[in-house]
Amino acid sequence: MVATKLYVPSVRPGLVTRDRLLGRLEDGASRRLTLVSAPAGFGKTTLVASWLARPENDRAVAWLSLDAGDADLSVFWTGVVTALRGAFSRRGTEPAAQLAGLAVSADAMVPAIVNYLADSPDEVLLVLDDYHLADHPEVAAGMTFLVEHLPPNAHVVMCTRADPDLALARWRARGELVEVRAVDLRFTAAETAAYLEGTCTTRLTVGQVRALEDRTEGWIAALQLAAISLQDHADVGRFIEGFAGDDRYVVDYLIEEVLAHQKPVVRDFLLRSAVLDRFCAPLCDVLMGGEGADGMLRVLDRANLFLVALDDKRQWYRYHHLFADVLRARLFSEQPEVIPLLHRRASDWFENHDLADPAIRHALAAGDLDRASALIEAAMPAVRRERQEGVAQTWLHQLPEDVIRRRPALAVLSAGLLLVAGDLDGVSSRLDEAEEALAAAQDAPTDGQALAQESLGLPATIAIYRASLAQAHGDIEATVRHAQVALDLAAPEDHLARGGAAGFLGLSAWAQGDVPRALVTFQQAVHSLHAAGNVVDELTGTVVLADLWRASGRPRRAREICDEALRRAETQGIARAAAELDVALAELDIESGGLDSARRHLDSAAGHSRGTAITESLFRSSVAEALLARAAGDFASAFAHLQQAEQLYRPGFFPDLRPIASLRARFQICEGDHGVAAEWAQERGVSLDEPVGHLREYDHLTLVRLMVATHRNEPDSDTINAVLALLERLGEAARASGRARSLTEIRMLTALALDAHGRRPDALMVLGDAWELAPEPDGYVRLFLDEGTPMTELLRAAQRHQRTSHHAQRLLASAGTATAATHLRPSTSVDELSERELEVLALLDSDLRGPEIARALFISHNTLRTHTKHIFTKLGVSSRRAAVMRARERSVMPPTSG
């Protein structure tokens, strides 16, 4: 895959200086977004590049040229991060915030990018060229958030052929949007004359220039084509006269003239190579059925025939998009019979070079569905091993439904992709189709299909997917039944299928709360994956084992296996596994109070995840970020991370033992928002007197927190007694199932409930039991401290008793350390903000933009950025809105003058 360009295009000499538009772009730099929107060939990229190339421009410029592959959420934001990093690196002014933190997830990246930009001492321009190629609803959602939250020193420039699906009307009404459109980009008469004078060797008359202007309507690409054609015409006047008529015919004539004046060998090369999105000399040699492509590419490059180099070594190229469209249209018109052959040759070349994606795409373009299907089936092991679900989905979308239905391997692949996407409705019917196709193929199989079915172990895979579907629906009995079928169907040497089946048996035991059985079974699954050579799944399976060890009350063992697996993953360069293991270690760190270490692991996970789309890792990372923010007292960030996690959650593979809605309710309870938390309880249908079960345990313990908090405000003995009865039932179930961590949490909450009921001696006794009976009590810090003031008061009482003093003092000391940590809310007073900073802070709570605030205070924009950065640092925030909110919380918000 060819890397996305991250440099600013150079501006060729002799082009028109468009002061009327450059001024508009300069004015737009004080707004949030500049939109340069027009059809192809209107000079969007050249205009922006010319503006940025001016000597007076001293901004940090991050230029990202996009293509269709950037519509993938992870690829798009990774490109943005790389462009920003390159921009600051070139200036030697990289902000203190670390870029590793920007790749946690496609959603989590955007707030981190905002913080990163706010931390920069420079004025920053992010230029997104050819944005229409990456315009996707998920990308657009992130871009909306980015533009809405840009710090005063940052600005986005977007070059696109079509208006993006963004909040343009809102930004236009607010005066935050500057637009440059086709009507603006069209060359005026003066600009047309200047352009032609700079590019044509023959001097044109005013009438000839006007004629070309009229015929092209200021379309810059057409003028460029005309200038090329004019070089080969001695009678310029006659040439221009021939363009009378419909503008479409004028453009067609220009294109014909460019191609008609090329040597036949050059013209043939242009037409045939245009079937390729990207090409190199060896690939073109195969396409043409000969040699000499390397020399031909050099000829095209020197002749400026719309050839764009894609790498510094000038090995890979593409054509200008408009020119490529024209070439393909000419090829289809003149040689339609050769097009399938060209695509087939391209497919062969890519297959021989182990590039499955372009090999499959060209097979599809050739209309060779059998070849494309066989290539997809051959790629399935790599798709599963390397988690290339997005690419596989693109392939299947281009195959007719009947092809997928009649090829069992493809039907199974389709079902698996539905599971990964969390789209459960169509999974069962797709698996039914796979079984029907499998039965038909077994009656009269082709060699290719028989080989695919044998190598992929389709019957066992179908049973595993049915187990996953049952798991997603919470049907434990069906999950066990299908997993056992898969185990029975899998051949002794089919370790991958056996590992998957054992994995779902282990997950079913976990969903039932039987942690000892889950540990034994899932360890067998991991061993099978190791025997299958599936290192990625083996290492990521370690995360599940770590969760089980945590549940059994053995966090140290969980850490040991994660540390070892992480070392292996990093040594072998398995980024997916390393990311998931880093997130698992971060959660262990958070629970044990190691918040700084947790931050490092999450940053490391972000680095490993860069350029990937690992949904489960990104989901868990967002949850861990929320827990870390909650530990820091930053509930606004915690809720934002939970929202990201909710969007990333996909049911199907793991029991939902910590529902996001319930975790959010816990945060709301901590903030005293009991009414909203009560609405959660009603929506979840959770009550104090219902039967207990492991899948409902998290909900029940959240409800306990709500009822105890409510009791403190409105004492109700009946309610607290019902709470204690529920905790007793939960404790019995956890004790019987070997869930030591749950038992510790249940005892801790029992102590809080007793204390809220006025029974402190009993509360201290139960609190002592929580520590004494826990296998590794030192592993639990946030479990206690996250309960806030009620727990702090109980710990202070506990430190005066010999039985509980050690652990109480340990936790109180941890609380003191956490309070002093840099990532917690600082205690800011009015005296810590200077008089000028208070003036700036007051105006931050207004509708004024950065430059307007600077003018109001009679200071430069750079000075304003310095004051703003100091305010953010002192208040411990990273955005304007957060600064205002934090100032109000700390009662340091100065009164406004208006």
The predicted pLDDT at position 827 comes to 39
Mean pLDDT of 297-317: 77
The position carrying tokens 């430069």 is 860
The most confident of the ranges 222-226, 448-452, 763-767 is: 763-767
How far is it, in rounded angstroms, from Cα 651 to Cα 795? 39
Structure token digits, residue 704: 């306990």
pLDDT tens digit sequence for 120-148? 888 999 999 999 888 888 889 899 999 99
Mean pLDDT of 388-416: 88
The predicted pLDDT at position 828 comes to 41
526's CB contacts (< 8 A; 6+ apart) are 499, 538, 541, 542, 545
pLDDT tens digit sequence for 178-189? 999 877 888 888
The percentage of residues in the chain with a pLDDT greater than 90, rounded to a whole number, is 40
* pLDDT above 80 for 322: no
CB atoms within 10 A of CB 757: 21
Confidence category of residue 105, pLDDT binned at 50, 70, 90: low
Mean pLDDT of 141-161: 92
The predicted pLDDT at position 876 comes to 65
CB atoms within 10 A of CB 631: 22
Q: Which residue has the higher pLDDT, 710 or 321?
A: 710
| C-alpha closest to that of 525 among 656, 513, 509, 581 | 509
The predicted pLDDT at position 396 comes to 92
* pLDDT above 50 for 765: yes
Structure token digits, residue 38: 């027009």
b/e code 43-61 from CB counts within 10 Å (16+ = b): bbbbbbbbbbeeeeeebbb
How far is it, in rounded angstroms, from Cα 150 to Cα 113? 9
The predicted pLDDT at position 163 comes to 81
The predicted pLDDT at position 615 comes to 58
The percentage of residues in the chain with a pLDDT greater than 70, rounded to a whole number, is 85
The predicted pLDDT at position 11 comes to 43
Angle at 459 between CA 456 and CA 464, to 5 degrees: 90
Q: Are 287 and 366 in contact (CB under 8 A)?
A: no
* pLDDT above 80 for 570: yes
Q: Which residue has the higher pLDDT, 556 or 237?
A: 556
* Helix, strand, coil percentages, rounded to 5, for the chain: 70, 5, 30
Residue 638 φ/ψ, nearest 5 degrees: -60, -45
Residue 758 burial class via C-beta count within 10 angstroms: exposed 0-12, middle 13-18, buried 19 and up:
exposed
546's CB contacts (< 8 A; 6+ apart) are 558, 559, 561, 562, 584, 588
pLDDT tens digit sequence for 28-70? 888 999 999 876 677 888 899 889 888 888 888 999 999 887 8
| C-alpha closest to that of 373 among 301, 286, 312, 441 | 441
* pLDDT above 80 for 241: no
The rounded Cα 437 to chain-centroid distance in angstroms is: 36
Confidence category of residue 82, pLDDT binned at 50, 70, 90: confident
How far is it, in rounded angstroms, from Cα 526 to Cα 565? 12
Mean pLDDT of 593-601: 93
The predicted pLDDT at position 156 comes to 96
Alpha-carbon distances, residue 802 vs 8, 764, 794, 807 (angstroms): 69, 11, 14, 10
Mean pLDDT of 362-367: 94
* pLDDT above 70 for 829: no
The predicted pLDDT at position 346 comes to 96
Q: Which residue has the higher pLDDT, 258 or 548?
A: 548
How far is it, in rounded angstroms, from Cα 358 to Cα 422? 27
How far is it, in rounded angstroms, from Cα 786 to Cα 590? 11
* pLDDT above 70 for 74: yes
What DSSP element (H or E) covers 125?
strand 124-129
Mean pLDDT of 541-570: 94
Q: What is the largest CA-CA distance in the chain?
A: 107
* pLDDT above 50 for 613: yes
The predicted pLDDT at position 4 comes to 42
* pLDDT above 90 for 365: yes
* pLDDT above 60 for 103: no
pLDDT tens digit sequence for 4-32? 444 444 444 445 667 888 888 988 888 99
The predicted pLDDT at position 190 comes to 82
Please tell me whether residue 179 adopts helix, strand or coil conformation. Answer: strand
629's CB contacts (< 8 A; 6+ apart) are 635, 637, 638, 641
The predicted pLDDT at position 669 comes to 93
Residue 159 φ/ψ, nearest 5 degrees: -105, 125
Mean pLDDT of the chain: 83
